[in-house]
Structure 1
Amino acid sequence: MSETTTAPDQRTVSGVAIRLEGVTKRYPGQQKPAVDSVDLEIAAGETVMFVGPSGCGKTTLLKMLNRLIEPSGGKIFLGDEDVTGQDPDRLRRRIGYVIQAGGLFPHMTVGTNIGLVPGMLGWDKERIAERTDELLDLVGLDPEVYRARYPKELSGGQQQRVGVARALAADPPVLLMDEPFGAVDPITRQRLQDELLRIQEELGKTIVFVTHDFDEAVKLGDKIVVFDVGARVVQYDTPEAILAEPAEEYVADFVGAGATLKQLTLTRVADTELHTPVTAQAGEDSAAVVARATAAGEQYVVVTDGRGRPISWPSVAELTRTTTVPATRDDRLPVVGLRSTLNDALDTMLAASQGGVVVTGRRDSVAGVLVVEQVMAAIQATRGETRG
């Protein structure tokens, strides 16, 4: 059902298009349908965010895509295939599904949770083990450390990463996400959003994501659907278009105050010119690293692990007091991804009381450094454009 292609901009697309034709859901005893004849087209490889007030039907519509809720009428197509009458169990094995807290089975290890659907599909043990380790690495969890752990031994953010890995286990073309990051703290939520952006950049799945948070929709979505009661599509457009030109007063009210500052969430870290830091691997000779940093005129060094991932950001003065570069991981290290927004970068700097952030790219390797002056310049530019 899925086929990996490369779009003109060289971005990999492994998702398929979704088309809804008159999809309706009526519940017995209710005068009005919960979902009223929705027509919608989602392009292959796009992330589309469903937003709207509680009870508007967005989650019901999402669950009809994998037939957790059966439609009362209409048709659902994945690619050119009408899946409306298909066996629902067979269909669900071809669609990833992520909910709050990952929905992990507590009595199963992380590895067993991830390998569940491939096992149902008849994959052999060796293939399942390879896929499990590949996905743990993809979501930023060391397979050697996490595959044998149980969900209760994980933080909320780690559970959610495993939930995403499990949803991707059988390489489905479509990923459904029902408010997956709603139950974690703001900093963890930002990191999970960044992780999803990075994964999507690499895999190009078709993602349908339900959220109550319009800022999250702006950050993650290629397109946003704003629903009213009955899953009426009030506006379906890019985040930029919805912020600039709300289709109705209802949309403007839903976007809320501060739409101008929300424009800052449209600017990605990747859109700015990053500073190239001096890097060093843990265990390197400190004197050599200090000499390298001094020659480059740098006061700080980004220390990485054996796989090029940042673990600390010590000053040159700190390194002069050591013989070898420490392998100690700084849990408060301010890190954002290339797909993070400038708003995220500023929040991360403030939370860590730092004047900059380390930026990571593919597989969490160091891509550069962003400093607060660049973010403030972008804010000033945004305000200037608005006044103009």
Structure 2
Amino acid sequence: MPPTPSSRARWGSSSWPSSSTPSSTSSPDSPPRGGFVSDTASGSTGGARILLDGVTKKYGGQSVAAVDDVTLEIPAGEIVMLVGPSGCGKTTTMKMINRLIEPTSGRIFIGEDDVTHRNADELRRHIGYVIQGAGLFPHLTVGDNIAIVPRLLKWDKKRTSARIDELLELVNLEPGKYRDRYPRELSGGQQQRVGVARALAADPPVLLMDEPFGAVDPITRQRLQDELLRLQEELRKTIVFVTHDFDEAVKLGDKIAILQQGSRIVQYDTPEEILANPADDFVRGFVGHGAALKQLTLTRVRDVPLNEAAVAKIGGDPVAAIHAAQAINREHVIVVDDQDRPQRWMSLDQLADTKSLTNVARDENLEVVSLASTLNDALDSMLTSSHGVVVVTGRRNVYQGVIRVETIMDAMSDMRGATAPAEPAS
């Protein structure tokens, strides 16, 4: 077994006791053990705990280490955000986990295995890696991009093909529509989804994400963040995510590590604790102004009651849809497909056409948030909505209800009440 810390995380000059060593004695070329190998044929693999034990990286000719004696535990199945200024070593720290950068000293455990003893190429085939801009091979189709690692692992064609379709469905890209396209035929957000699918192809327990959403527009970025949270609810991978954006860290992270030069961790805790009790002035600078408003980023859509809307199905009866809307005093209905995925809003006037529900094209600008979205995301989407509400979806984009501005205002009122100082006793 790998050494176990006595607390959630330690860093700086401390390290695991030198007498504690992992039980693995396999050769560097042998396949990983202890839950590190994933096999989609037997069901999806969850996450694996990561332990960094006194990890240091020094480059030749430099007297100061880029990463200086970092010791840190990343719990299995959680998203840990590495945040800090440029040059602090957060990306270097992350890349040492899959040995894209070799550590100068220290040990790195994934599950029970000290991966510094593994064959580096073999190791990387069992760790997902997502970069900014997706990094897709332009000469390969979407399907072939996703299939790269399964083919390196010598999966048969049937299993590989099934996995491609499964992953495209998982990231909400229709296999029949996108499998044979080339990256140049996709939007930036679609390319990033394919990048995530490729990283998940061999069902790795660990996913490394290096500012993956930094190159897309704010609306697409929000949707990709929501998509990641939705995927994490299903897959429970261990995700190490590098970002400059503290708001993104608050939204996505189960825990946040705030780093200074040399990857010195000045605070490592939950977003709630960092917002409420920043460790020092450096952390307070990262939190910035408006910490109270950031509380909206800590509350998920699933934590508040959803509202009712009139719903119609493609191919359904427009007259019945009109009656359903009138029964709850609504002027619009939300149209869903045969898998209950929202497609667009339709007014009662539009539904007066008896063929209005026969062929309904999806509105690409439909304002949608997921149950994992934050109230801050819902409020942003609501400000651009012409309906005063935002559609909410759950797993596989299934319609769940709508959220109204009144719901968000009530939640903000509750937050203010919870954080208001108690009146002194008379």
Alignment of 1:245-264 (within 5 A): 245-264=277-296
Q: Which residue of 1 aligns with 2:13?
A: none
Query: 1:212 and 2:244 equivalent?
Result: yes
- Do 1:334 and 1:354's aligned partners in 2 also have CA atoms closer than 8 Å? no
Residue 57 of structure 1, CA deviation: 0.2
- Do 2:91 and 2:210's aligned partners in 1 also have CA atoms closer than 8 Å? yes
Give every structure 1 segment of 4 or more consecutive aligned residues whose post-TM-superposition deviation is greater than 6 Å. Answer: none
Which one of the candidate residues 206, 211, 224 is aligned to 1:192? 224
- Do 2:82 and 2:257's aligned partners in 1 also have CA atoms closer than 8 Å? yes
Residue 154 of structure 1, CA deviation: 0.3
Alignment of 1:53-92 (within 5 A): 53-92=85-124
Query: 1:349 and 2:382 equivalent?
Result: yes
- Do 1:2 and 1:14's aligned partners in 2 also have CA atoms closer than 8 Å? no
SS at 1:352 equivalent:
coil
- Do 2:313 and 2:335's aligned partners in 1 also have CA atoms closer than 8 Å? yes
- Do 1:175 and 1:206's aligned partners in 2 also have CA atoms closer than 8 Å? yes
Structure 2 distance, partners of 1:339, 1:116, is 30
Q: Which residue of 2 aligns with 1:362?
A: 395
Q: Which residue of 1 aligns with 2:360?
A: 327
TM-superposition CA deviations, 1:64-99 (whole Å, max 9, x none): 000000000000000111111211100000000000
TM-superposition CA deviations, 1:178-199 (whole Å, max 9, x none): 0000000000000000000000
Residue 135 of structure 1, CA deviation: 0.2
> Structure 1 counterpart of 2:189, which letter?
G
Q: Which residue of 2 aligns with 1:377?
A: 410
Range with greater deviation from structure 2 (20-29 or 349-358): 349-358
Residue 170 of structure 1, CA deviation: 0.2
- Do 1:194 and 1:336's aligned partners in 2 also have CA atoms closer than 8 Å? yes
> Structure 2 counterpart of 1:238, which letter?
T
Q: Which residue of 2 aligns with 1:226?
A: 258
Q: Which residue of 2 aligns with 1:8?
A: none
Query: 1:48 and 2:86 equivalent?
Result: no
Range with greater deviation from structure 2 (162-171 or 376-385): 376-385
Structure 2 distance, partners of 1:2, 1:70, is 20
Structure 2 distance, partners of 1:145, 1:75, is 44
Superposed CA RMSD: 1.5
Residue 299 of structure 1, CA deviation: 3.1
Structure 2 distance, partners of 1:366, 1:40, is 40
Which one of the candidate residues 101, 108, 112 is aligned to 2:133? 101
Q: Which residue of 2 aligns with 1:154?
A: 186
Which one of the candidate residues 315, 321, 332 is aligned to 1:283? 315
Query: 1:129 and 2:161 equivalent?
Result: yes
Residue 13 of structure 1, CA deviation: 7.3
Which one of the candidate residues 196, 203, 212 is aligned to 1:171? 203
Query: 1:339 and 2:352 equivalent?
Result: no
SS at 1:252 equivalent:
helix
Structure 1 distance, partners of 2:330, 2:306, is 15
Structure 1 distance, partners of 2:387, 2:124, is 45
SS at 2:133 equivalent:
helix
> Structure 2 counterpart of 1:337, which letter?
S
- Do 1:174 and 1:205's aligned partners in 2 also have CA atoms closer than 8 Å? yes
Range with greater deviation from structure 2 (261-270 or 320-329): 320-329
Q: Which residue of 1 aligns with 2:69?
A: 37
Q: Which residue of 1 aligns with 2:24?
A: none
Structure 1 distance, partners of 2:222, 2:97, is 27
- Do 1:359 and 1:366's aligned partners in 2 also have CA atoms closer than 8 Å? yes
- Do 2:48 and 2:205's aligned partners in 1 also have CA atoms closer than 8 Å? yes
Structure 2 distance, partners of 1:311, 1:59, is 39
TM-superposition CA deviations, 1:171-221 (whole Å, max 9, x none): 000000000000000000000000000000000000000000000000000
> Structure 1 counterpart of 2:393, which letter?
T
Query: 1:15 and 2:42 equivalent?
Result: no
The alignment covers a number of residue pairs equal to 381
> Structure 2 counterpart of 1:170, which letter?
A
Structure 1 distance, partners of 2:53, 2:295, is 33
Structure 1 distance, partners of 2:36, 2:302, is 29
TM-superposition CA deviations, 1:261-301 (whole Å, max 9, x none): 11110000000001132321112221122123323444321
Residue 231 of structure 1, CA deviation: 0.1
- Do 2:45 and 2:204's aligned partners in 1 also have CA atoms closer than 8 Å? no
Which one of the candidate residues 323, 331, 334 is aligned to 1:302? 334
Structure 2 distance, partners of 1:358, 1:258, is 27
Structure 2 distance, partners of 1:342, 1:56, is 31
TM-score normalised to structure 1 length: 0.95
Identity of aligned residues (%): 62
Query: 1:120 and 2:152 equivalent?
Result: yes
- Do 1:13 and 1:45's aligned partners in 2 also have CA atoms closer than 8 Å? no
Q: Which residue of 1 aligns with 2:27?
A: none
Residue 313 of structure 1, CA deviation: 1.6
Structure 2 distance, partners of 1:323, 1:142, is 26
SS at 1:84 equivalent:
helix
TM-superposition CA deviations, 1:8-38 (whole Å, max 9, x none): xxxx970100001000000111111000000
Structure 2 distance, partners of 1:302, 1:351, is 17
